[in-house]
Amino acid sequence: MDNLKNSNDMRSIKKYVMFTLIVGLGSILPTLQAQSDLQISKAFDQYGERKGVVMVELTDEMLNGYDFSLFKSLTIKDNPSAAEFIRKCLLRDEVGAKKVKQVVTNGVPTSIYLQLPRKGKLYRLILFNEIFTPEHKLTLIYIESKNDTEDVLKLILKKK
């Protein structure tokens, strides 16, 4: 029927890359103007100041040679229910996304990258990653940048 349903075949493959492009239904969905409109902002509010969590916020800073207008990250250890909560948030934030990229392991997206519609001149990006060994750790990053997020993604996805 369509490529999404073909994932049954894919599941037998242990690791694969799935690229999904979701057309932003701009006229129907309200443009997500501010980060606070995003579901993931709840994750920052809920988990940001807890034990076992590192939350970072940087405004108008340069990291690794790239300019970020806003950089927010959340790193949570040993908390599978937080992972579940954040994945639910991501599913909803994905709806208005311009592009979605995923890395899937054993049928589960272990890395998710969402390129969101721009907020004025700013490009926006959500990055999510969950690992299970050697410990359970999830990382959630929200970025606003004047630079095209393709470049930011290239930076992040560069071969080690």
Number of chain residues interacting with another protein (CB under 8 A): 48
DSSP E strand stretches across 51-121 = 53-63, 66-77, 99-105, 108-119
Residue 129 found at the interface with another protein (CB under 8 A): yes
Q: Which of 59, 67, 84, 151: binder of another protein (CB under 8 A)?
A: 59
Q: Which of 29, 56, 91, 95: binder of another protein (CB under 8 A)?
A: 56
Question: Shortest Cβ distance from residue 158 to another protein (Å)?
Answer: 7
Burial 67-80 (b: 16+ CB within 10 A, else e): ebbbbbbbbbeebe
Contact 89, 32 (CB under 8 A): no
Question: Shortest Cβ distance from residue 83 to another protein (Å)?
Answer: 13
**Dist. CA 22–CA 124, nearest whole Å:** 16
Q: Which of 42, 94, 122, 156: binder of another protein (CB under 8 A)?
A: 156
| CA-CA-CA-CA torsion sign (20, 21, 26, 27) | negative
Phi, psi angles (nearest 5°) of residue 80: -60, -30
For residues 79-108, which are near another protein according to CB under 8 A?
101, 103
Q: Which of 12, 23, 28, 81: binder of another protein (CB under 8 A)?
A: 23
Residue 28 found at the interface with another protein (CB under 8 A): no
**Packed helices 40-47 and 80-94: angle between N→C axes, nearest 10 degrees:** 150
Q: Which of 13, 21, 91, 108: binder of another protein (CB under 8 A)?
A: 21
- What is the binding site for another protein (CB under 8 A)? 1-4, 15-17, 19, 21-23, 48-65, 71, 73-75, 101, 103, 110-111, 127, 129, 131, 137, 139, 141, 156-160
